[in-house]
Copies of this chain bind each other. A is one copy, B any other.
Amino acid sequence: MKLYTYFRSSAAYRVRIALNLKGLSWDAMPVHLVRDGGQQNHADYKRLNPAGLVPCLETDDGHILTQSLAIIEYLDETCRAVPLLPADALQRAQVRALAYAVACDIHPINNLRVLRYLGDVLDIDAAPKAAWYRHWVELGLGTIEKMLNAHPDKGRFCHGDTPGMADCCLIPQVYNARRFNVNLDAMPIIRGIAETCESMPAFRAAAPENCPDAE
């Protein structure tokens, strides 16, 4: 399989973790989101993914899948050896809710294209733009800390003692939070899960600094 990816893309980072947890072999196809006016905007990439976003997965039989969580669900359905979702429907809903709390409630608001619009179109300076970023991350991760605190099946990971879809989403968001100096002191559960995940080869190999296109 080929994953169209950018080392700093947190959506691509999720899928890199999932591929590694599943033990699947894959090739990184770097798409540079800044260089050349953004390679994601080039016609050849937009033929693969009209959204002009990473990641995008090309399967071994040539199918193109977009949207990080759709890709992770697909990997989970087609490679059942290492499940990323629990078997029980209620527990699956709880894990998905944690994943979406990152993927719908934090990340889209702080995506590169949104930050660019704030600066380029709305003329927002660097300081209030950084405050915007931190606001949504602090609010969102604060909510997730409460969700995890109330989650009956929390273990060493978001759900139980094996990593899953929620961890695939949480760890890239924690990485970004640190990069933008968000204070995680009040989030001991998240910090503990991050520490556990970051000690695992599947997560470590997926980290931005370990990608072939890292700068």
Contacts and interface: CB of A to CB of B under 8 A. Distances in A.
Interface of A: 50-53, 59, 63, 65-67, 69-71, 73-74, 77-78, 89-90, 92-94, 96-97, 100-101, 103-105, 107-109, 114, 117-118, 121-122, 124, 128, 131-132, 135, 143, 146-147, 150
A199 to B, nearest CB: 28
Contacts of A52: 143
A177 B203 CA distance: 39
Nearest to A114: B109
Given A122-B132, A146-B50, A77 B97 contact: no
A79 to B, nearest CB: 10
Nearest to A95: B70
Given A74-B93, A77-B92, A132-B122, A100 B143 contact: no
Contacts of A67: 96-97, 100-101, 104
Contacts of A73: 92-93, 96
B97 A70 contact: yes
Contacts of A69: 96, 100, 104
A76 to B, nearest CB: 9
B122 A51 contact: no
Contacts of A107: 104
A151 to B, nearest CB: 11
A51 B143 contact: yes
A83 to B, nearest CB: 14
B70 A100 contact: yes
B50 A70 contact: no
A104 B97 contact: no
B109 A135 contact: no
B89 A74 contact: yes
A97 B15 CA distance: 14
11 contacts: A50-B143, A50-B146, A50-B150, A65-B94, A67-B101, A71-B93, A73-B96, A78-B89, A109-B109, A117-B132, A118-B122
